[in-house]
A and B are shown apart, each in its own frame.
Chain A
Amino acid sequence: MNDSSQMGTTCASSSSSAKNPARRRRFGLAFWLTFVICMATWMVLSGLFDAFHLSLGVISCAIVADLNARAMWLDVNLGRTLRHWGRFAVYVPWLLIQIWRANLHMLKLTFHPRMRQLINPRMVSFKSRIDNRMGLFIMANSITLTPGTVTVFTSVMGRFTVHAIDDVSARGLPGEMEDRVARIFED
């Protein structure tokens, strides 16, 4: 996820700015979204709601949002972003259930007295059909968090290399998770 992903970032940003330069306005929607997120984080973390601390928060959040707005949102589209977040909120409980089952499986492996006969580590490689970078990021993190698998390498083109701990977890790849992650970003 390191150098290949950074390469993908620069490619995507340069192409999107070449397509529509009008989106790179200074106080556009991207600025205000970043500002609102920063301000909410400020208010939760400080816990002080008097005028002095709130004005300090407004000043520092404005500076941070102005510097970082164009790095956070490559092309901002409010409706699509909200749809993605809504579908992601549906995905998270399913992922938590999968994480719970994965942990029970891992617990059984850990305390099994003949553990070295039970596990069968191997490297599995597969090609995914997810084509956007955020989907690949969520997919790689979900693979690391669920049944006996750790993502070793991800390319921008969707090729995954995964270290699986036993036969059961190696057989379950890419499985249902890929469909669900692809459904988040399908439009």
Chain B
Amino acid sequence: MLNITVIVLLFLGLFFFFAGSVGILRFPDFYSRLHPAGKLDSMGLLLTMSAMALYTVGQWNLGAFLTAIKIMLIVVFIYITSPTATHAIVDAGVRAGLTPWIRSDKGTEHDLAA
């Protein structure tokens, strides 16, 4: 039962990681690439880490509990620092004067350089 929960959470997290990578590859410009990089990766990390913490807790001793607490501490740390890192990158982009990609209804896409 525990193993099934762990496997489901782990595969869901890996799917979110995969979606984050595809999003980083597919989105049209620098600003919109930050959306999958900041959100889907954090979600994938939360799911995979909670799966691994759950698997570690399954051994039922003090060391395993401390390890699980450490793993969840990594998740809390990532959830505090990941928006800050995203903000630092987007702030550098704004100060460099990158213009956001805007959808043009005529079908021609002018990108960053336009």
A positions within 8 Å CB-CB of B = 1-2, 44-45, 47, 99-100, 102-103, 106-107, 109-111, 115-117, 119-123, 140-141, 144-145, 148, 150-153, 163, 165
Contacts and interface: CB of A to CB of B under 8 A. Distances in A.
Contacts of A119: 27-28, 32, 103
Nearest to A146: B39
A152 B94 contact: yes
Given A47-B66, A121-B32, A141-B80, A103 B16 contact: yes
B22 A152 contact: no
- Give the one of A102, A103, A120 with max B CB within 10 A: A103
A150 B40 contact: no
Interface string B5-33: 00000000000100100110011110110
A2 B39 contact: no
Contacts of B40: 103, 106-107, 110
A106 B91 contact: no
A121 B102 contact: yes
Contact of B90 (A106, A117, A152, A165): A152
B112 interface: no
Contacts of A2: 91
Interface size class of B (residues with CB under 8 A): 35 or more
A115 B26 contact: yes
Contacts of B22: 110-111
A44 B69 contact: yes
Given A121-B100, A151-B90, A152-B90, 9 more contacts: A106-B19, A107-B40, A110-B26, A119-B103, A123-B100, A145-B39, A152-B94, A153-B94, A163-B31
